[in-house]
Structure 1
Amino acid sequence: MAGAREATAPILPEEISWRISYAEIGALTQVQRPVVTTWARRHADFPEPVAYEGASPLFDGGEVAEWLLSTGRGNADADQIRAELVLHTLSAWRRVIPARTLVDTVTALLCLRQLLDEPLSDLPWQEILERAAEIDFDDTFLRRELRELPDAERQGPLLAVLADQLTEAAYTPAEALERVMDARRRLGCDDLAADEPIPLVSRTMARLTGLARLNEREEGATAAVLHPRSGDLLVALRESVSDAENSPFFLSADPMPDLARLARRRLMAQGVQEFEMDLADGEELATEDWGNPHVIVCYLPYEAAETRSPLAVLQSLQDVTDLLAEDRTAVVLGPADALVRPLPVRGEADRLRRDFLEQHLLKAAISLPEGVLPFRPAHRTAIWILHRTPEGKRTGQVLLADLSSRNLTPQTLDALAEDIDIFRDAGWRADSRHEPRNAAVVRATALTSAPGAAFTPQHRPPADRYTRTVVERPARISETELRLQQLIDATRSALDHAPTIRANAVLRPDDQPARRTTVTRLLKDRRLRRLPGHRIAAEHLLTGGAGHYTVLTPAEITGSAPVDSHRIDRAILLNTYEHAYFTEPGDIVVTATPSFGAYVDDEGLSVVAFPARLLRARSDAEHPVRPRVLAALLRSAATEHRRVSGAVRSARRIEDLLIPDLPDDEAERYDALLSDIARRTALLRQHAAALDELTSLTAAGLVDGTLTLTEPPLV
């Protein structure tokens, strides 16, 4: 974020200010919290605290935003900061206007600005009301929200200015309106977000309908949303065809008129004309006027597990299929226990669920992880894709996908949508040219002939039996067994000819007390050099062996993760962290967070990640420090000063730990002992790693059904 940026003054009601903490400033500017405290310490013009929460300072958000915009500090761009400032200002308005009234008014103003295509802050409030009455003559989406604003003559113009500021930060009123909807929880409108899934799932469901392709292929396509709530699915459907020349017709019905009005505002702001939608107030879609829809999307209303009945869920799905004409599609999100998990064998719910297959309606069943509904984090959901296929085109195949243990990233859901698109384009049958990445296409009879069975992939697809991982697994097992035997032989050879390990430890005489020192003293005596760790962003840390350089984080240093668990790409390191340094052989890496740890890097060429730091022995010192000895002594001394429950940090800093300053000859003997221990430990770790790999390889093959264990050959 370079260059000076123009500040935006917040429009706040009287006696309201946006108070923001160090951590929130860090989140706003996309930097870590210590960076913000450094700004406050080094820059005299950084805003002063306006209050304290305990010992933590709170700052005026407007002043902080203006400082960021004028100095260009942080990683967020100016528009993000302006938008965040306006959203926080909106949140502050809740002390004056009820949260729901505030959201309704601001979304109405943004919708009006989109339709008028001109700023509202230049218009008197009365003229805004008159223009709203002209546009919304029948009062179906925004007129009432503006007319019923409390103390409208005073509050209305201020909110109009806020609407313009939001638009300027988001480029268009439509994007600004969606930013407000994304912030509905922050604005206190939990009821508008309670039963909505995460946006990524809404967008994926819209894509799974195939509406974009259908709209290109046919004129007059109709898309319906059952239980639209606050309109997330309607907007997702609209965005899926935003590049098309012709808009499909949108249908929905909601028994709560205020939610239907909000959905209309959102679609109108997206460019949908009144004659391109029929969002009814009530329970029934207007199918008599517009015919049965081409695609249907819905989230089944949430019910608690104690009262939820799988049979009732499946019966509501049956009602959805009644709206499906021939060659029409429905995508439904519902509870996983009814849609994909095992059911009581031959019970009513089981028979009804298998009936969807026998009627060739169910085309895909997708298990999702917990967390799809943010307000119901433990609620497991699944998606069904239903299609009424003409009798002559039925294939008797169904796609099953299990994403219940995968993170729902855009890449994962894009791959799923592509698999579904290919399955649909092939006539709802497996395509020999494409193997689904996270799914399997099976015969429907495999499920109908297994009462109560889960609608999830039970075995690897046949093609997976011939992947390199599977085919090479027996050879890898044999190699691991051979390596184990070689390790045993090497260990026996090494230890048979090695002297017995002896510490030769005796009690120190009372008249020869050990001389004590600290890391601070060693630094002052120029026997050590201290270097800080690097603040490496989490997204730059690679796992699974990827990357070029090892990164030593506190996890590796404290032993909670093996060394080489984290790596970093060469290009990212050189371009993003241009002042980064590498460790040298013998460097000691220490950390006090989350607990004390000390690690000697024998190989070097690693990168140290903050809050860990590095102690490097100076080879030119009169009495050089032996790294292995210093690390062992620090680990032992730290056990006496552990962080107690409730404390933020340990009783003593690493630099203040008292350790013996061993004479050179004794330090040499101790270093030799530690080297022998390290050599033996390394051999044991190699044994343990090989045994773990053998366990993992055999278990993986047995679990996926591609491996079997036979009787050993007779000798």
Structure 2
Amino acid sequence: MATEHGATVTAGDIARLAGVGRAAVSNWRRRFGDFPGPVGGTASSPLFSLAEVESWLRAQGKLQSLPEDELLWQRVRNSADDLRLLSLVSRLAAAVAHRRLAELLEADDSEVADALPDLVVDDRDVPLIRATAALAEARGPEETVEFLYTRYTEAHSRRVQVIPEEVARLMAELVEPRTGAVFDPACGHGGLLIAAGGEPGALRAVGQERDGDAARLASARLAVRGIDADVRQGDALTGDAFPCLQADAVLCSPPFSERGWGYEELAGDPRWQYGLPPRGESELAWVQHCLAHARPGGQVVVLMPPAAANRRSGRRIRSQLIRTGALRAVVALPPGSAPQSAMPPHLWLLRRPDLGDRIPSHVLMVDATDSREAVLPAWHAFREDPGREAAGGGRAVPVIDLLDDDVDLTPGRYLLRTAAAPGVAGRTADELLAAVTELTRLLPSVADSPQGPLPAVSLAELARTGALRITQTPGGRAEPEEGDTALLTAEDVVLGRPATGTGTGGPDAVVARPGDVVVPVAGRTPAAAVVEEESVLGPNLLLIRPDPDLFDPHFVAGFLRAAAGQASGTASAISRTDARRARLPRLPLAEQRRYGQVFRELELFAGALRRAGETGELLRRIVLDGLMSGDLRPEPRP
């Protein structure tokens, strides 16, 4: 990020520039009094002037020249803020993936802008496209695009949910043969489709992704690998971009535990052949969406939260998946195998039934929580002889044993327990300590204040004075509509996601601009979001447009979330009147920005707190089971 000090770098960036570990940079800061001081950031994540750092490294003999790729990354990183970085990275990747590099290097600025109208947003983009093309000419398009992707995920490691490569590989290897069309309806940055790719020309990759920038990056990553791909933007459940697709295989790592997945508007959807998914079981909607897009006999592999195996609300659908022969296996994976949760996730292996198929008599259960190595042998053995009692590292469970009152698909329930792998409790304890350390690092920087409550004024009063504008969108239900403008819904705001729909942006539409604040007018979950890209607003939203010379939008959103949280403790929902009565402290703009930064840090802290809680619960269960089985014993205390 650029400041009045010019381009800035993090401690991790400095380590890469000098070819050392981050510990070395921390050591330099302690040992050398002339090491450049921070020019921005926070106490836990400081920013340093790139020019000052480069000068110090050269004076110390620790840097001969800036690596070409790192120099490009610093230019990219300092050309966009955190919220716009993915957009820039995806556009640079797309420019390299879909144009001949020589043309980009030889054309003048206007020709580049004319050739890439969707990728050039402003004049600063063209020099970056040239620099990226030059690196791709020297290193190759695939290495360059993957470098940009890797640096982006490292810079946003706590925000970006990336499925681990080894899990993506395993999911792809469970599909045989990998030819024809492979579909991922929640493809993110394309990890599963890349894992399934194999040799160029072997398959056609089809993907859908809610975030347009992520979809563009996924398309570029596939293109530079020579994989024939069609990736489109949109929410696959509420806005299916491939209604007629019948893929040979479907791989999916869907978002977990989404309550706003479209329960009301999709109640009569023909995809629910195994039953209407309960409101709180979005994963069962994704499973059925995947089956609906597999050809008869096509394979489906879905990463699932462990709770989906035994929730009472989903037992009817689980029963139907078993009775029809759609569910073939459930695999319990090690902790950390899912990007959304530290709890051990499951893989559901399914097959879309074909006319004339015999209903399978067994379902394979595999407990691979200690190691993934047993999964493929168990699956191959099961496919060769599904009725065999023991199949590799798992067990073929008779269907009749699964169809009880609970329809519990947890593998551990059907497998003879073996001794826990040595050191599992210790490793989990280490993970918990690491999570707690991350929590400590993310503690917001705040201090006691002797001044007490701040003088404040209501939103309604600020609106009357013209300091901000408040606009209410009509009530009702969001209806699908054709258009090319992003449509932001109340569900998007509550779930903290970008706009998932499209609208026409007609004369009667309420359009939010970057820097506006949007609040749902009803709902039990406190929510307020700062708009990052121009969007048409769906129903039941309150648009707050503060004067940018008077208010920091993150300051406004943070206090509105706090006000909504207080209201939700005493009322069933935050209403239109509640939001207008919310009070904002009277503070100078510079002070508001400090508050806004802390509010953003609190969101990161909340995510880390959730991960630490999940890891702590896992450790509790491991220790409890180990003590009961004799695998663990109490250690004498000093």
For normalisation by structure 2, the TM-score amounts to 0.52
Name the SS for the 2:251 alignment partner.
strand
Aligned: 1:144 with 2:98: no
Q: Is the 8 A contact 2:28 2:35 kept in 1?
A: no
Q: Which amino acid aligns with 1:331?
A: V
Given the superposition, is the C-alpha separation of residues 161 and 145 from structure 1 closer, same or farther in structure 2, using an over 3 Å criterion?
closer
User: Is the aligned partner of 1:420 residue 2:379?
Assistant: yes
Corresponding residue for residue 455 of structure 1: 410
- The amino acid of 2:118's aligned partner reads R
Distance 1:52 1:702 in 2: 50
Q: Is the 8 A contact 1:166 1:176 kept in 2?
A: yes
Q: Match of 1:251, as an amino acid?
A: V
Residues 525-562 of structure 1 deviation map (CA, whole Å, 9 limit, x = unaligned): xxxxxxxxxxxxxxxxx989xxxxxxxxxxxxxxxxxx
Equivalence map 1:609-688=2 (5 Å): none
Alignment of 1:233-632 (within 5 A): 233-238=192-197, 241=198, 244=199, 246-254=201-209, 259-273=214-228, 277=230, 279=232, 283-286=239-242, 288=244, 292-304=246-258, 309=279, 313-338=283-308, 340=309, 342-344=310-312, 349-368=314-333, 371-374=336-339, 376-377=340-341, 381-388=345-352, 395-404=360-369, 406=370, 412-424=371-383, 426=384, 428=386, 430=388, 435-436=392-393, 439-449=394-404, 451-458=406-413, 460=415
The one-letter code matched in structure 2 to 1:435 is: G
**In structure 1, the residue corresponding to 2:119 is in which secondary structure?**
helix
**1:324 partner amino acid:** A
1:106 to 75, 78, 92: 92
Q: Does 1:183 align with 2:169?
A: no
| Partners of 2:395 and 2:291 in 1: CA distance | 24
Deviation of the 1:295 alpha carbon: 0.3
Task: Give the direction of change, closer, same or farther, for the CA distance of 1:175–1:82 in structure 2 (3 Å limit).
Answer: same
Q: Deviations over 1:664-712 (max 9, x none)?
A: xxxxxxxxxxxxxxxxxxxxxxxxxxxxxxx989934899xxxxxxxxx
Structure 1 position 208 matched with structure 2 position 198: no
Between the aligned partners of 1:59 and 1:701, the Cα distance in structure 2 is 50
Pick one of 81, 99, 108 that aligns with 1:124: 108
Aligned twin of 1:197? 163
Per-residue CA distance 1:34-87 (angstroms, 9 max, x = gap): 587479969xxx99525478799976546767987999979xx999x6544533
CA distance in 2, matches of 1:12, 1:123: 28
| Superimposed CA distance per residue, residues 162-184 of structure 1 (whole angstroms, 9 cap, x where no aligned partner) | 41465378x32223223323333
Counterparts of 2:44 and 2:185 in 1: how far apart (Å)?
50
Give the fraction of aligned pairs with identical amino acids, expressed as a percent: 18
SS at match of 1:178: helix
1:329 CA displacement: 0.4
Shift of 1:103: 2.3
Counterpart for residue 535 of structure 1: none
Provide closer, same or farther for how the CA distance between residues 87 and 698 of structure 1 changes in structure 2, counting only shifts above 3 A: same
2:127 aligned partner = 158
Q: Distance in 1 between matches of 2:416 and 2:387?
A: 14
Q: Which has the larger radius of gyration?
A: 1
- The amino acid that maps onto 1:197 is I
After superposition, the CA RMSD in angstroms is 5.0
Aligned partner of 1:33 in structure 2 is: 23
CA distance 1:372–1:392, shift in 2 (3 Å): closer
Give the gaps of 5 or more residues in structure 2: 262-277, 425-624, 634-638
Question: Which letter does structure 2 place at the counterpart of 1:125?
Answer: D
| Cross-structure match for 1:687 | none
Letter in 1 for 2:398: R
1:165–1:441 CA distance, 2 compared to 1 (3 A) = farther
1:173 to 2:141 alignment: yes
| Residues 582-605 of structure 1, C-alpha deviations (whole Å, 9 max, x = no match) | xxxxxxxxxxxxxxxxxxxxxxxx
Cα distance, 1:107 vs structure 2 = 2.0
The 5 A counterparts of 1:62-101 are 82-95=68-81, 98-101=84-87
Q: Distance in 2 between matches of 1:41 and 1:305?
A: 51
Whether 1:19 aligns to 2:19 is: no
The 3 A distance-change label for structure 1 pair 88 and 449 is same
In the alignment, which of 157, 180, 186 is matched to residue 227 of structure 1? 186
Take 1:99 and 1:445, find their aligned partners in 2: how far apart are those partners?
52
Aligned length: 411
Preserved CA contact (<8 Å) 2:87 2:213: no
The structural deviation recorded for 1:353 is 0.7
Q: Is the 8 A contact 2:201 2:227 kept in 1?
A: no
Taking a change above 3 Å as real, the CA distance of residues 445 and 117 of structure 1, as seen in their structure-2 partners, is farther
Match of 1:699 among 613, 629, 635: 629
Aligned-pair CA distance for 1:159: 0.5
Question: Which residue of the partner structure matches residue 49 of structure 1?
Answer: 36
On the 8 A contact 1:423/1:430 being kept in 2, the answer is yes
8 Å Cα contact 1:91/1:187 also seen in 2: no
- Classify the secondary structure of the residue corresponding to 2:412: coil
* CA distance 1:388–1:101, shift in 2 (3 Å): closer
Distance 2:156 2:12 in 1: 23
Q: What is the CA-CA distance between 1:294 and the residue it aligns to?
A: 0.6
For the residue of structure 2 that corresponds to 1:296, the secondary structure is: strand
Distance of aligned partners of 1:321 and 1:71 in 2 relative to their CA distance in 1, 3 Å threshold? same
1:22 Cα deviation (Å)? 8.7
- Whether contact under 8 Å (1:326, 1:389) holds in the other structure is yes
CA distance in 1, matches of 2:212, 2:374: 38
C-alpha displacement at 1:232, in angstroms?
3.2
Classify the secondary structure of the residue corresponding to 2:297.
Answer: coil
Provide closer, same or farther for how the CA distance between residues 696 and 277 of structure 1 changes in structure 2, counting only shifts above 3 A: closer
Deviation digits for residues 571-627 of structure 1, max 9, x if unmatched? Answer: xxxxxxxxxxxxxxxxxxxxxxxxxxxxxxxxxxxxxxxxxxxxxxxxxxxxxxxxx
The match for 1:596 is none
Contact 1:20 1:59 in 2 (8 A): yes
Is residue 65–residue 85 contact of structure 1 (8 Å, CA) maintained in 2? no
Q: Distance in 1 between matches of 2:92 and 2:37?
A: 29
Cα distance between partner residues in 2 of 1:97 and 1:352: 39
Cα distance change, pair 37–309 in 1 and its aligned pair in 2 (3 A): same
- Structure 1 121/72 Cα, relative in aligned 2: closer, same or farther at 3 Å? farther
CA contact (8 A) 2:325 2:359 kept: yes
Opposite residue 442 of structure 1, the aligned amino acid is V
Q: Distance in 2 between matches of 1:382 and 1:207?
A: 16
Alignment-mate amino acid for residue 364 of structure 1: A
Q: For residue 236 of structure 1, report the CA deviation from its aligned partner.
A: 3.0
Residues 118 and 435 of structure 1: CA distance in aligned 2, closer, same or farther (over 3 Å)? same
1:294 maps to a residue whose letter is D
Q: Displacement of 1:144 after TM fit?
A: 0.7
Of stretches 325-334 and 22-31 in structure 1, the one that deviates more from structure 2 is 22-31
Residues 166 and 334 (structure 1), Cα distance of their counterparts in 2 relative to 1, 3 Å cut: farther
**Secondary structure in 1 aligned to 2:318?**
helix
Distance 1:440 1:422 in 2: 10
